[in-house]
Chain A
Amino acid sequence: MHFTGTQQIKAPVAKVWAFVLDPNKVAECAPGFKTMEILGPDHFKPTLAVGIGAVKATFTLDVQLEDVREPDHAAMRGRGAAAGSAVDMVAAMDLKALAEDVTQMDWTADVNVSGTLASVGARLMEGTAQRLTAKFFDCFRQKIEAPDDATAPSTASVPSSPASESTGAQ
């Protein structure tokens, strides 16, 4: 599956960069995030619980950052396994300042889901991926656009997505 997208974030490039490169911060927005093991500045292992239709799987991902060019380009490669299923992904993003406090993120991702999840969830895969992506960026924007003194709120306190959608579109 190939995905691309463009997000506008109400924050300066440097702030977006710092957030994206911090695995702990990104992980908080990752759908179904459970645990994180940090093996190095560009190597970490998050555990995520993902469900497609009736099938639930807990993936342990091995993520490696690649081609990190501060302040505007980074890529990652990840592979994860769950019982009878596997996911392989390559993603990249480019940041561009639209204004002093507005950043555009252009991103691409190639995701291959294999095994039971692909076999029994094929019909639902694309829709699920889009839903999870939207959820991720909603959370992402909210955290990054929050005032500096309120950066680590628990996920439960994240406002609902329609509000953040309108923020992102401005």
Chain B
Amino acid sequence: MSTTGTSTIGGMGHRVKRKEDPRFLRGKGNYVDDIKLPGMLYMDIVRSPYAHANITKIDASKALAIPGVLAVVTGKDLDAAGLAWMPTLMSDKQMVLPVDRVVYQAQEVAAVIATERYIAADAIAQVEVEYDPLPPVIDPFKAMEADAPLVRPDREQKTNHIWHWEAGDAAKTDEAFRQADVVVKQDLYIPRIHVASIETCGCVASFDRVAGKLTVYMTTQAPHAIRTVFSLVTGIPEHKIRIISPDIGGGFGGKVPVYPGYVVACVASLQTGHPVKWIEDRSENLQADSFARDYHISAELAANNDGTMKALRVKTLADHGAFDAAANPSKFPAGLFSVITGSYGLEAAHVAVDGVYTNKPSGGVAYRCSFRVTEAVHTIERMVDTLAQQLKMDPADVRMKNFIPPEAFPYKSATGWEYDSGNYPAALRKAMEKIDYAGLRKEQAEKRAKGELMGIGISTFTEIVGAGPSHTFDILGIKMFDSCEIRVHPTGSVIARIGVQSQGQGHETTFAQIVAEELGLPVENITVEHGDTDTAPYGLGTYASRSTPTAGAATAVAARKIRDKARKIAAHLLEANPDDLEWQDYKFQVKGTPGRSVGMKEIAFAAYTNFPSDVEAGLEAVDYYDPPNMTFPFGAYICVVDIDRGTGQVKIRRFVAVDDCGNIINPMIVDGQIHGGLTMGMAPALLEAITYDENGNMQQGTFMEYLLPTAMETPAWETDKTVTPSPHHPFGAKGVGESATVGAPPAIANAVVDALSHLGVTHVDIPFTPWKIYAILEEHGVAE
């Protein structure tokens, strides 16, 4: 892949400044809450105070008496229209509004439609709902007991167990365990966390009664899939539904699911004939939107005494809340958790996951983790360290000993994935040199002698991103291809429309760079559009680091189709045989005659003004790209922490992140992705966790309790890279958006355990809050 494009083109490998930034920096972004339509009404939502209760009565009369209140929508109203329930993306169904029963605290119970936002907010307090509380099911282990109250009596199966899923070879794993010298076992809990994007969820639903068309501006990461689901659920023909994702203020997986508010706003617009706006407030967003993680993991790793890892056995209980409303590919109820063998060559592995209902909002959102990869990576990276600790070996040595060797790719993992490419030892060596690993170990020994607590943690993770190949990946039956449509205008400027949807990733820049590279047209003359289902080609949207592996590939392939046609026009212009032309330095030239060449700008003009008789006018192409495989980015992270014996606070002193995402489109944007991802990876390691009291009340309903990282906690990240291109991707790229979120937590966890290992500590669950660490220090007599 050429990274030699001149700066006038701004193709692959250039630090092109983000095209979207001028509007964001000047406050000219256009988010859903910026949309104002004539006659627009406002919706607010009455929510349940109880985690589990029967609804005995809803009296809206007082609310309806308030001037400006036009309607109060309840579950019974929706039930009459067959819309009280909706399908989830995981073959479950979910209440839009409850008819007679609530199943989590802050669940939507009714909606008020009013002429003003403040009237709607006042009126929800006047909707009188009577409840008869039921015992809530909060602990997922208790939920699995035979006498547990049922979260979902609507189901045929009278149990809280949702599904059982497994991967790998159980018998072969058992055999490897029997032959191993040593087995280490560890239980891990990956707490429930929330994506907490800056922009909460919301929509403006606008039904045009004359045209019979529903337009919905909404905060969604997957507008096309939403359109199809809306059509199937409501019966409105799909061409009469237009979903527009305008600027989105962060998605991180939390904006893939369909939330009840979207549906109720659409119903309200259909009923009133007015546009209806619904925007969540921060506490609603934190309490009720779908959550991530919440995996109770029990892992065993078998090895030989020399540190050679042999097999892995993992059992997991997955708390999915009251509805299985995660957005995993259909065949993967536990996401891509089976990538849990990580960067290591194992003889065998077996993974089993059981999903369980509890009286909590839906869980299982893939929070910047490509479907449960964070949980998998945390497990294997902690287990490697646990083994190293048990065998009194250096964790770097254990990793080096067990890495899948670079020459073994493509590599078939013990759970069946075919890793496309990798060079794990090179990445770890680079990180160790950059941070001076040997020097740090020496320093640690000296500090320990003085009673100071310093830890060094390594994470050498492998990600699996870019879902995905149609033979394996679909959502509700729709295969997970993605698309791009490119039109080259007569003057050589371009519009490219893509099936994926930016929530801040910089698609308008990077996808323009792909087109620039492939067509040799300057990046500033290329407009990238996305998020409007009336104009963009069908695609499954942006999440799971899939944009570059799927739609990025489609963009390159569509551009190459244009180049194929351009070759014929170029031949016509150069009066040469197309076969005698070569694409060199962003131009077609007659082989061996650099003087006789023509660029894409002239070709574009000719495509409309002077095209050969056997060639159609115009210059455009579309591609729906079905990736042959996933891409497997990887990295080596090393973290140094100091623990304050007086406060229990964990301070990250240094953090070196060496990432490999194959060929890079825009290094500046990748750096930004890594920096943001590392910060979002640090957050659950040090700060974030959602907990519930025994009644099912979520305990972190504001940012006072749910602690997001700020500049104060964030260290100066030190980033570097290796480049191992994906062999199957058109320009050798892999996804990158989630690598750091996935790879960072275990590096921090391993550093914290390392700092305490000489005291006999073998594991601590995240987050490492000061009180948790201080309690450990006290227990071991080293607190100050």
Q: Is B784's CB within 8 Å of the partner chain A?
A: no
Known pairs A119-B699, A119-B701, A122-B697; A114 contacts B105 (CB<8 A): yes
Instruction: Report A87 CB to chain B, min CB distance, Å.
Output: 9
B699 touches A122 (CB 8 A): yes
Interface size on B, residues (CB 8 A): 28
Partner of B697, one of A83, A88, A119: A119
When chains A and B are docked, how far (Å) is the Cα of A81 from the Cα of B46? 12
List the A side residues contacting B128 at CB < 8 Å. Answer: 81
B537-567 contact mask (Cβ, 8 Å, vs A): 1 or 0: 0000000000000000000000000000000
B49 touches A120 (CB 8 A): no
B131 touches A122 (CB 8 A): no
B287 touches A114 (CB 8 A): no
A83 touches B124 (CB 8 A): yes
A80's nearest neighbour on chain B, judged by CB, is: B49
A120 touches B695 (CB 8 A): no
List the B side residues contacting A85 at CB < 8 Å. Answer: 49
Known pairs A86-B49, A86-B50, A114-B51; A119 contacts B106 (CB<8 A): yes
When chains A and B are docked, how far (Å) is the Cα of A122 from the Cα of B699? 6
Q: Is B232's CB within 8 Å of the partner chain A?
A: no
Partner of B283, one of A88, A113, A119, A123: A119
When chains A and B are docked, how far (Å) is the Cα of A146 from the Cα of B48? 43
Partner of A115, one of B105, B699, B702, B705: B105
Known pairs A83-B124, A123-B705; A115 contacts B131 (CB<8 A): no
A-B contacts at CB below 8 angstroms, number = 73
When chains A and B are docked, how far (Å) is the Cα of A83 from the Cα of B45? 11
Q: Is B125's CB within 8 Å of the partner chain A?
A: yes
- Which residues of B in the span 123-150 have a Cβ within 8 Å of any Cβ on A? 124-125, 128-131, 133
Q: Is A116's CB within 8 Å of the partner chain B?
A: yes
When chains A and B are docked, how far (Å) is the Cα of A116 from the Cα of B595? 74
A116 touches B124 (CB 8 A): no
Q: Is A20's CB within 8 Å of the partner chain B?
A: no
B695 touches A118 (CB 8 A): yes
Interface size on A, residues (CB 8 A): 18
Instruction: Report B309 CB to chain A, min CB distance, Å.
Output: 43
A88 touches B133 (CB 8 A): yes
A115 touches B47 (CB 8 A): yes
- Which residues of B in the span 102-135 have a Cβ within 8 Å of any Cβ on A? 105-106, 124-125, 128-131, 133
Q: Is A84's CB within 8 Å of the partner chain B?
A: yes
A122 touches B695 (CB 8 A): no
A119 touches B695 (CB 8 A): no
B697 touches A115 (CB 8 A): yes
Instruction: Report B278 CB to chain A, min CB distance, Å.
Output: 16
B121's nearest neighbour on chain A, judged by CB, is: A83
Instruction: Report B692 CB to chain A, min CB distance, Å.
Output: 9
List the A side residues contacting B46 at CB < 8 Å. Answer: 83-84
Q: Is B575's CB within 8 Å of the partner chain A?
A: no
B35-78 contact mask (Cβ, 8 Å, vs A): 1 or 0: 00000000000111111000000000000000000000000000
A116 touches B133 (CB 8 A): no
A118 touches B693 (CB 8 A): yes
Q: Is A112's CB within 8 Å of the partner chain B?
A: yes
B697 touches A114 (CB 8 A): yes
Known pairs A115-B49, A115-B105; A81 contacts B701 (CB<8 A): no
Known pairs A122-B693, A122-B705, A123-B705; A115 contacts B133 (CB<8 A): no
B696-732 contact mask (Cβ, 8 Å, vs A): 1 or 0: 1111111011000000000000000000000000000
List the A side residues contacting B704 at CB < 8 Å. Answer: 120, 123
List the A side residues contacting B51 at CB < 8 Å. Answer: 114
When chains A and B are docked, how far (Å) is the Cα of A115 from the Cα of B49? 4
B122's nearest neighbour on chain A, judged by CB, is: A83
When chains A and B are docked, how far (Å) is the Cα of A64 from the Cα of B330? 51
Instruction: Report B131 CB to chain A, min CB distance, Å.
Output: 7
Instruction: Report A43 CB to chain B, min CB distance, Å.
Output: 16
A123's nearest neighbour on chain B, judged by CB, is: B705
List the A side residues contacting B129 at CB < 8 Å. Answer: 81
Instruction: Report A4 CB to chain B, min CB distance, Å.
Output: 18
Give the most central of A84, A86, A112, A113: most B CB within 10 Å: A84
- Which residues of A in the span 112-170 have a Cβ within 8 Å of any Cβ on B? 112-120, 122-123
Give the most central of A81, A86, A119: most B CB within 10 Å: A119
When chains A and B are docked, how far (Å) is the Cα of A115 from the Cα of B695? 10
List the B side residues contacting A120 at CB < 8 Å. Answer: 283, 701-702, 704-705
List the A side residues contacting B283 at CB < 8 Å. Answer: 116, 119-120
A119 touches B125 (CB 8 A): no
When chains A and B are docked, how far (Å) is the Cα of A113 from the Cα of B133? 12
Give the most central of A85, A88, A114: most B CB within 10 Å: A114
A71-102 contact mask (Cβ, 8 Å, vs B): 1 or 0: 00000000001111110100000000000000
When chains A and B are docked, how far (Å) is the Cα of A118 from the Cα of B105? 10
Known pairs A86-B50, A86-B131, A114-B697; A119 contacts B124 (CB<8 A): no
A116 touches B695 (CB 8 A): no
Known pairs A119-B287, A122-B705; A84 contacts B50 (CB<8 A): no
A114 touches B50 (CB 8 A): yes
When chains A and B are docked, how far (Å) is the Cα of A140 from the Cα of B210? 66
When chains A and B are docked, how far (Å) is the Cα of A69 from the Cα of B287? 43
- Which residues of B in the span 735-753 have a Cβ within 8 Å of any Cβ on A? none
Give the most central of A88, A113, A118: most B CB within 10 Å: A118
List the A side residues contacting B698 at CB < 8 Å. Answer: 119
When chains A and B are docked, how far (Å) is the Cα of A122 from the Cα of B49? 14
List the B side residues contacting A82 at CB < 8 Å. Answer: 49, 125
When chains A and B are docked, how far (Å) is the Cα of A119 from the Cα of B696? 10
List the A side residues contacting B699 at CB < 8 Å. Answer: 118-119, 122
Instruction: Report B707 CB to chain A, min CB distance, Å.
Output: 12
Partner of A116, one of B106, B130, B696: B106
Give the most central of B47, B125, B695, B696: most A CB within 10 Å: B695
List the A side residues contacting B105 at CB < 8 Å. Answer: 114-115, 118-119
When chains A and B are docked, how far (Å) is the Cα of A119 from the Cα of B700? 6
A115 touches B693 (CB 8 A): no
List the B side residues contacting A114 at CB < 8 Å. Answer: 49-51, 105, 133, 695-697
Instruction: Report A89 CB to chain B, min CB distance, Å.
Output: 12
When chains A and B are docked, how far (Å) is the Cα of A116 from the Cα of B701? 7
List the B side residues contacting A86 at CB < 8 Å. Answer: 49-50, 131, 133
Instruction: Report A59 CB to chain B, min CB distance, Å.
Output: 11
List the A side residues contacting B48 at CB < 8 Å. Answer: 115
Give the most central of B48, B49, B283, B699: most A CB within 10 Å: B49
List the B side residues contacting A112 at CB < 8 Å. Answer: 695
B128's nearest neighbour on chain A, judged by CB, is: A81
When chains A and B are docked, how far (Å) is the Cα of A88 from the Cα of B124? 21
Instruction: Report A39 CB to chain B, min CB distance, Å.
Output: 16
When chains A and B are docked, how far (Å) is the Cα of A113 from the Cα of B701? 14
When chains A and B are docked, how far (Å) is the Cα of A86 from the Cα of B131? 9
List the A side residues contacting B701 at CB < 8 Å. Answer: 116, 119-120, 122
Using a CB–CB cutoff of 8 Å, the interface residues on chain A facing chain B are 81-86, 88, 112-120, 122-123
**Could you show 20 A-B contacts with beta carbons less than 8 Å apart?**
A81-B131, A83-B46, A84-B46, A84-B106, A84-B124, A85-B49, A86-B49, A86-B50, A114-B696, A115-B50, A115-B105, A116-B49, A116-B701, A118-B49, A118-B105, A119-B105, A119-B106, A119-B283, A119-B698, A122-B697
- Top 9 closest pairs, chain A to chain B, by CB: A115-B49, A119-B701, A83-B125, A118-B697, A86-B49, A120-B701, A114-B49, A122-B699, A85-B49
Known: A114-B51, A116-B287. 15 other contacts (CB 8 A): A83-B46, A84-B46, A86-B133, A114-B133, A114-B695, A115-B48, A115-B50, A117-B49, A118-B693, A119-B697, A120-B283, A120-B705, A122-B699, A122-B700, A123-B704
